[in-house]
Amino acid sequence: MDIRQIGEFGLIERIREDAIVEAATVVAGIGDDAAVVLATPKHFQLLTTDMLVESVHFDLSTISPWQLGYKAIAVNLSDIAAMGGIPRQVLISLALPSDVTIEFVDGLYQGIKEICRQHVVNIVGGDTVSSPNGIVINVVVLGEVEPAYLQRRSGANAGDLIVVTGNLGDSSAGLELLQRGRWEEFKFAWPLVTSHLTPRPHLKEGRVLAAHTATSMNDISDGLASEANEIANASQVCLRIDAERIPVSTELREAAIHLGKDSLEYALYGGEDYKLLATLPPEALAAVSAQVDVTVIGVVEKGEPGVFLLEENGALLRLEAKGYNHFRQNEKGEHDVAM
């Protein structure tokens, strides 16, 4: 059965079921012209949005509806994590071809509702429209953060340590394995593919870093090189990163050999890891490490704003931001495309 048989309002009623996880924060959810939620006193409100477009951000031949729904929320929650915040409410707008099946939408929202339950986030509204050219998913997240916990990209200081939460590069290697096909044959592929299809937003890690005086933070959506340059430019500092300290998984090392590439390239430029990159005073490291896993990958220094990579041979290489960019042309004159 496709969505033409139940129409827009029938679809909204299906979506509305089990949308509220924490009723105490909601006055009116789905069903009115606007949602009404309770703001927490003495907190800043955080707002973020991301759009996922079929054939640009996802390929339905390599991702299930459940995984797509889960990931659509995860990438937005990662933005809240990077601000040191807590997500509270989401609004989801869908543009769907009229021949999309009810089963597809049900699967999509099962994934959406699963991650919302995990992080106690309510679905309070959105929009549904028809689309002539593929599926578009737009998510808006409302979160909050105490003023003392608020994280920006612009607070890094000389002497700070540079840390990341979790391994880097798994997602981009997982995507490449999906695109090449027959990835199920390789034991090393499963965690990499899972990392790409259902990333975990590092909300706990963001809160712990914020609580222990992190000076800047950024989520790693476009690759470590890109995010590090954003912090360097916003803070007007120099970031020196040690290549040997960048955490990569055993599975990524195995995949890189299979794919004929360098695992470090995936970690630096791959993107869609949704881990956190942060700077913090050295004296805060022990307290942070006691609660969450972080890896020190470098230090913040005075000097010309930029990022430099200390290679294994001792050479110092300026690290340019070469991650994914929607409107940049590559060397062949073609535009970047992400799936």
* Domains of the chain and any CATH numbers: 3-148 (3.30.1330.10), 161-318 (3.90.650.10)
Predicted TM-score (pTM) of this structure: 0.88
pLDDT digits (tens, 9 = 90+) for 168-226: 999 999 999 999 988 989 999 999 999 999 999 999 999 999 999 999 999 999 999 99
How do residues 146-158 score in pLDDT, each as one tens digit? 999 999 999 999 9
Per-residue pLDDT tens over the stretch 96-109: 998 999 999 999 99
Q: What are phi and psi of 252, to 5 degrees?
A: -65, -40
| Burial zone of 102 (CB within 10 Å; 0-12 exposed, 13-18 middle, 19+ buried) | middle
Helix (H, G, I), strand (E, B) or coil at 332: coil
User: With contact defined as beta carbons under 8 Å apart, do 37 and 48 qualify?
Assistant: no
Average the pLDDT over 320-330 and give the result. Answer: 60
Q: Report the percent of the chain where pLDDT is more than 70.
A: 87
State the pLDDT at residue 333: 39
Handedness of CA 83, 87, 90, 96 (dihedral sign): positive
* Helices of type H across the chain: 7-16, 65-82, 102-118, 170-180, 189-197, 203-211, 224-235, 250-259, 263-269, 285-289
